[in-house]
């Protein structure tokens, strides 16, 4: 939901850091009929992510998460799985001081929760198992394609990305570790996830380009 907090922009205000992007808070608010915005009365900080919020490089990752959540979630609709995902991913950005793996995990699970995730084991056209060979995708085409069936302009997901997708499906982010050598796979998977999200939102993510310069 969207709300207003009277006096929040003042240098000295009673909200402090509770209204920072992706802060974990409990709020009390008043909702009036026919009003789009609720009026926030009080906010209590439950968990701070100050390190990630105050570091420009880390905050770009949080900005992407925040934008996607705002666009994906319908107004006034409770989504417990999405809330848990956002909290888990934000905690990991704070803990690890890196958004590479958390943002890839977030994009993967956002697509999965949305019901848009393709099969990662075989070609959608001919059914051939990918094995150690790359899969290919285009956000405008359903499913993943093998080398023989791929179409012009499709982007690859190499073995590291396919294996990481399998791990994402079965492991919690806070129990995962990846080698530096596997980071390109996380990047490939993130970019695929963000492309699928943009396709289903029918709009570009404004914050996505920030990732390219951090």
Query: What's 129's domain CATH number?
Result: 1.20.1440.120
The verdict on 42 and 131 lying in the same domain is no
Token pair of 194 as six digits:
């963000």
Give tens-digit pLDDT for 139-194. 999 999 999 999 999 999 999 999 999 999 999 999 998 887 789 999 999 999 99
**Residue-level pLDDT at 15:** 63
The verdict on 118 and 198 lying in the same domain is yes
The verdict on 83 and 153 lying in the same domain is yes
The verdict on 132 and 28 lying in the same domain is no
The verdict on 87 and 175 lying in the same domain is yes
Token pair of 133 as six digits:
């060979």
- Among 13, 30, 48, the domain boundary falls at 48
The verdict on 106 and 60 lying in the same domain is yes
Q: Which residues contact 76 (CB under 8 A, 6 or more apart)?
A: 1
Give tens-digit pLDDT for 20-69. 777 787 777 788 777 777 777 777 777 888 889 889 999 999 999 999 99
DSSP state of 211: G
The verdict on 158 and 84 lying in the same domain is yes
Are the C-beta atoms of residues 5 and 19 closer than 8 Å to each other?
yes
**Residue-level pLDDT at 49:** 87
Tell me the chain's radius of gyration from C-alpha atoms.
19
The verdict on 77 and 13 lying in the same domain is no
Partners of residue 3 on adjacent β-strands = 38
Question: What is this structure's pTM?
Answer: 0.87
Token pair of 159 as six digits:
């073995």
- Ranges of H-type helices in 29-79: 50-54, 56-72
The verdict on 112 and 161 lying in the same domain is yes
Question: Could you give phi then psi for residue 197, rounded to 5 degrees?
Answer: -65, -45
The verdict on 16 and 58 lying in the same domain is no
Domain count along the chain: 2
Q: What is the domain range of residue 13?
A: 1-48
**Residue-level pLDDT at 8:** 61
- Give the span between the Cα atoms of 123 and 199, in whole angstroms: 20
The verdict on 126 and 60 lying in the same domain is yes
Give tens-digit pLDDT for 72-104. 988 777 789 999 999 999 999 999 999 999 999
CB atoms within 10 A of CB 97: 12
The verdict on 152 and 171 lying in the same domain is yes
**Residue-level pLDDT at 9:** 66
């Amino acid at each position: 939901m969207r709300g207003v907090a009277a006096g929040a922009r003042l240098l000295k205000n009673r909200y402090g850091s509770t209204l920072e992007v992706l802060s974990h808070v409990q709020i009390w608010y008043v909702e009036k009929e026919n009003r789009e915005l609720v009026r926030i009365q009080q906010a209590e900080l439950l968990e701070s992510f100050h390190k990630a919020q105050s570091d420009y490089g880390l905050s770009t990752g949080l900005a992407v998460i925040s934008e996607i959540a705002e666009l994906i979630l319908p107004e006034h609709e409770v989504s417990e799985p999405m809330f848990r995902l956002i909290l888990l991913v934000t905690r990991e950005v704070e803990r690890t001081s890196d958004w590479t793996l958390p943002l890839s995990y977030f994009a993967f699970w956002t697509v999965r929760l949305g019901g848009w995730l393709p099969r990662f084991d075989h070609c959608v056209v001919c059914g051939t198992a990918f094995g150690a060979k790359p899969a290919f995708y285009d956000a405008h085409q359903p499913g993943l394609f093998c080398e023989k069936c791929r179409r012009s302009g499709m982007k690859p997901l190499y073995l590291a990305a396919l294996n990481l997708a399998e791990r994402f499906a079965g492991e919690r982010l806070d129990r995962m570790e990846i080698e530096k050598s596997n980071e390109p796979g996380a990047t490939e998977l993130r970019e695929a996830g963000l492309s699928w999200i943009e396709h289903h939102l029918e709009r570009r993510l404004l914050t996505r380009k920030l990732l390219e310069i951090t």
